[in-house]
Structure 1
Amino acid sequence: MKRNIHIALAAALFLVSCSNKEKMLDSLADYNNSKEEKGYHFGDKLDLPKEVTENTESITISFGDKETKDLRINPQFFTLGDNKVVFVIKTNRGETLNQDATINVFTKTPEQNIPYKIVADYPHDPKNFIEGFVVEGNTVYESDGMKGSSQLIKYTLGSSVPKIMAKQPADIFSEGCTIVEDKVYQLTYQNKIGFIYDKNTLKKLSEFPLPGVIGEGWGLTYDGKNLIATDGSKNLYFLDVNNPSKVVKTIAVGGYSTVYNQLNELEYHKGFIYANVWHQPVILKINPANGEVIGKLDFTQLTKENDKGDSEHVLNGIAFKGDNMLVTGKNWEKIYEAAFQ
């Protein structure tokens, strides 16, 4: 009889324990879901529900390669945008509970819409699936993608006929490009390599492996000190210009209420990074010190006029002609000059 009572008590305690664990995890999940859209700012504290805090000995936030017990949004651990974490909870009963979560961190100041006016347009070869776009003086350097069609070309703004062309092997998918002094640097999409050319002749000088952390090559620019690359994520990778296989630092990009993933073609101009977002008709103005998006240019109308109903003919190409921005897109027939207002 006593043995049966003990078994019954143990079963009851087990059920209570399971019930408590479920309540804690459900409560934490509801809290995380409610905060995911609104997000946090740096310095904010995670105000976890009482069902969790009153029944725990400790709470740790794990990022995989690092962890913290500080429930504040500390830039030492969190980045702008989405942060994939695991809550590790040690209960008062000595149990350990794990729960995955996404913690979004946004900027404190809304992005400003940057007004502009189209003041000129120039021809662009609609056969070119443009991936990289940079202008120096009146000369355009353009990297075009697609296997079997990839190339680096050089032409005069106002004429879409190349003066010099460097064709890529059929297995290469070219991506972003930029100029560093007398050289042109070019990324590839999934070939895991980059190329360096003589700027004047487009003769290939050398190639380099992409850093391991960069899964795919997308956009590329130069800030006067480092190369800056994108890989289709929210990250900007600053690369050593003398050794582009080395990542100097990485920053994440975020806005006031938006996680900006799929950063694509880049341009650096007067202390700011400008970035296309793949499949969005916008260009972001980014503070390179912290990844904060401080402004946005909306090119919805231009995209509608040029995509011809093809969803892949996206806005993708940023350069500067003096203080005016030049923009174009994949297989677009024109390059547009926009003056900020």
Structure 2
Amino acid sequence: MLRNALFVALISFGISAQAKTDDAPKPAPLLGFKVIQTLPHDSAHYTEGLVFYKGKLLESAGEYGESALYEKDLKTGKTLRSRTIEPQFFAEGLAVAHDRIVQLTWRENTAFVYDLAFNPLGTLNYNTEGWGLASFNNDQELVMSDGSPILRFIDGSDYHFLRQITVRDGDKEIMRLNELEEANGFIYANVWLTDKIAVIDPADGRVVNWLDLSRLQTLFKKPAKWNELDNVLNGIAYDTRTGHFYVTGKRWPALFEIKIDPPQRRH
């Protein structure tokens, strides 16, 4: 059994004021993207985490009484494997490091750890809310969001806290950072309540680019009881083999394979 660990340190959330100058940086520019194909996605799933790992598409679905971990067939959207979560837990972000799956929960301060066959290995505890999670630096680290502008980096093996960054676009702190993905050294973060993704430099937390994926919602028929405020983009996975991303949203009936223009670090 995996030893229970406290992997997020007690941290002050005090933020020092930034002096305003006439040379304030401009907001990060938009990146372009191209839709490669549209694939089916189960609209019953309240998507909170999406991972493409060794050819497998893994998904964490949330809501109390509905939370689960899934392995999905990419082409058909059908469930190949699943594990339900006890109803008192609201499942959130998902990542894989060292062939172990880590699944956060929202307000329960608990993460579940599984092997690749979804067998439980143990639990981890943390003292923030759990929102998004992604592997980073070739599985040496995990990066975690909690809805604030802060991203925390955690050791990918024993889960102890390493460091944190505050995400800013210019002088503006970016709130509601949610589902996360790493690709080519950048962190991609869904911003809750929007269909936008921030592309973040992990060295200093600066947003180098934005992705506005709102037009994707025009490419599928909305299911019954669609909620414009709630059913937003939240799910991004990167396929290292093709360099393409897979994105979807909460209760979306479609999963999109997209090609994103490469981001650039700003100096």
Normalising by the residue count of structure 2, what TM-score does the alignment of the two structures yield?
A: 0.84
Asked if 1:323 corresponds to 2:237, the answer is: no
What's the offset of the Cα at 1:103? 4.4
Q: Deviations over 1:159-189 (max 9, x none)?
A: 2221111111110110000111321111010
Asked if 1:217 corresponds to 2:133, the answer is: no
- The runs of 5 or more residues in structure 1 that have no matched partner are 1-63, 66-78, 86-101
Asked if 1:140 corresponds to 2:57, the answer is: yes
Q: Deviations over 1:256-297 (max 9, x none)?
A: 254211100000111110000001111111100000100111
- Matched residue, 2:177: 263
Indicate the percent of aligned positions where both proteins have the same amino acid: 31
8 Å Cα contact 1:317-1:329 kept in structure 2: yes
Asked if 1:281 corresponds to 2:195, the answer is: yes
- Matched residue, 1:236: 151
CA RMSD in angstroms comes to 2.3
Counterpart residue identity of residue 217, structure 1? G
Q: What is the count of residue pairs matched by the alignment?
A: 241
Q: How far apart are the structure 2 equivalents of 1:209 and 1:257?
A: 33
Q: How far apart are the structure 2 equivalents of 1:168 and 1:319?
A: 22
Q: Deviations over 1:114-156 (max 9, x none)?
A: 1111110111000000001001243210000011100001122
Asked if 1:151 corresponds to 2:65, the answer is: no
Q: How far apart are the structure 1 equivalents of 2:161 and 2:79?
A: 33
What's the offset of the Cα at 1:338? 1.2
Counterpart residue identity of residue 209, structure 1? N
Q: How far apart are the structure 2 equivalents of 1:163 and 1:338?
A: 23
Q: How far apart are the structure 1 equivalents of 2:175 and 2:19?
A: 12
Match of 2:101 among 178, 184, 191: 184
8 Å Cα contact 1:138-1:156 kept in structure 2: no
Asked if 1:170 corresponds to 2:84, the answer is: no
Q: 5 Å matches for 1:1-341? A: 84=15, 103=18, 108=25, 110-199=27-116, 201-210=117-126, 212=127, 215-223=128-136, 224=138, 225-244=140-159, 246-256=160-170, 258-303=172-217, 308-321=226-239, 322-341=242-261
User: Cα 1:311–1:193, aligned 2, differ >3 Å: closer, same or farther?
Assistant: same
Q: Secondary structure at the match of 1:302?
A: helix
Q: How far apart are the structure 2 equivalents of 1:84 and 1:186?
A: 29
What's the offset of the Cα at 1:242? 2.6
Q: How far apart are the structure 2 equivalents of 1:149 and 1:104?
A: 46
User: Cα 1:303–1:247, aligned 2, differ >3 Å: closer, same or farther?
Assistant: farther
User: Cα 1:326–1:193, aligned 2, differ >3 Å: closer, same or farther?
Assistant: same
Counterpart residue identity of residue 162, structure 2? V
Counterpart residue identity of residue 229, structure 1? M
8 Å Cα contact 2:169-2:206 kept in structure 1: yes
What's the offset of the Cα at 1:110? 3.6
- Indicate the larger mover: 295-304 or 139-148: 295-304
Q: Secondary structure at the match of 1:284?
A: strand
**CA radius of gyration, larger in:** 1
Q: Secondary structure at the match of 2:215?
A: helix
Counterpart residue identity of residue 258, structure 2? A
Q: How far apart are the structure 2 equivalents of 1:300 and 1:335?
A: 14
Normalising by the residue count of structure 1, what TM-score does the alignment of the two structures yield?
A: 0.66
